[in-house]
């Protein structure tokens, strides 16, 4: 089987990672491309009480089961189908349901901590960091959480100031130094996305 090209896309919450991912996937039509979101890999918390689960800080690296993600990527690279976990946000733990995921030419791993774990980084052929100003990121998060998730403006702002912002500064922003390419302003940066897509196409064509 041909080798699988693994692309990592990191950046803060609201940075435009998903837009960049969608643009790259659109530009790679003709190849088999799939997204493996790091958010699928929140740790199983079934051993904790519900009240204990409510204390989970989802903006901390410890919230993620990187060992399983790394194992799954290695299996995909070896041509094996995997079962991707899913997360039950209402019960704050891993769901019983899984998603069958076939090996692809290109797999994009997208998440706020996609570049934080060294073993995970070492599996990646290309590492991207989407770098967007904090004021834009909080505005996007505010709109998303109030419109799509039914949150109040106060709760979003308090969470941002008390958790999201300090975690970003401590854990996410420093991973920028591991990136092969930094894309400012996310999905609206067509030039950077075109350059990135050309690089990925070159890698895939060598397989």
Helix residue spans in the chain (DSSP H): 17-27, 50-53, 66-77, 118-122, 134-147, 153-159, 165-167, 190-205
Phi, psi at 14, each rounded to 5°: 85, 10
Q: Is 30 left (phi over 0), alpha (psi -120 to 50) or beta?
A: left
18 carries a ligand binding annotation: yes
119 carries a ligand binding annotation: no
How many C-beta atoms surround the C-beta of residue 150 within 10 A? Answer: 7
197 carries a ligand binding annotation: no
14 carries a ligand binding annotation: yes
13 carries a ligand binding annotation: yes
Distances in Å between the alpha carbon of 148 and those of 48, 53, 122, 144, 145?
Answer: 28, 22, 35, 5, 6
19 carries a ligand binding annotation: no
Quote the CA–CA distance of 163 and 57 in Å, as a whole number.
8
4 carries a ligand binding annotation: no
Q: Which residues are annotated as a binding site for ATP?
A: 11-18
Q: Which residues are annotated as a binding site?
A: 11-18
């Amino acid at each position: 089987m041909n080798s699988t090209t693994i692309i990592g896309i990191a950046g803060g919450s609201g940075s435009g990672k998903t837009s960049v991912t969608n643009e790259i996937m659109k530009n790679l039509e003709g190849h088999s491309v799939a997204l493996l979101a790091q958010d699928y890999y929140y740790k199983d918390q079934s051993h904790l009480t519900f009240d204990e689960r409510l204390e989970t800080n989802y903006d901390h690296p410890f919230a993620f089961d990187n060992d399983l993600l790394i194992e799954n990527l290695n299996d995909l690279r070896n041509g094996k189908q995997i079962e991707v976990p899913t997360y039950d946000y209402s019960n704050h733990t891993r769901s019983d349901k899984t998603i069958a995921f076939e090996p692809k030419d290109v797999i994009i791993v997208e998440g706020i901590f996609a570049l934080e774990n060294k073993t995970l980084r070492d599996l990646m052929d290309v590492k991207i960091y989407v770098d967007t100003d904090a004021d834009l990121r909080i505005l996007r998060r505010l709109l998303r959480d109030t419109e799509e998730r039914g949150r109040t403006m106060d709760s979003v702002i308090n969470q941002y100031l008390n958790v999201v912002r300090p975690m970003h500064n401590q854990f996410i922003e420093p991973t920028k130094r591991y990136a092969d390419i930094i894309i400012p302003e996310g999905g609206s940066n067509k030039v950077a996305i075109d350059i990135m897509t050309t690089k990925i196409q070159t890698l895939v064509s060598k397989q």
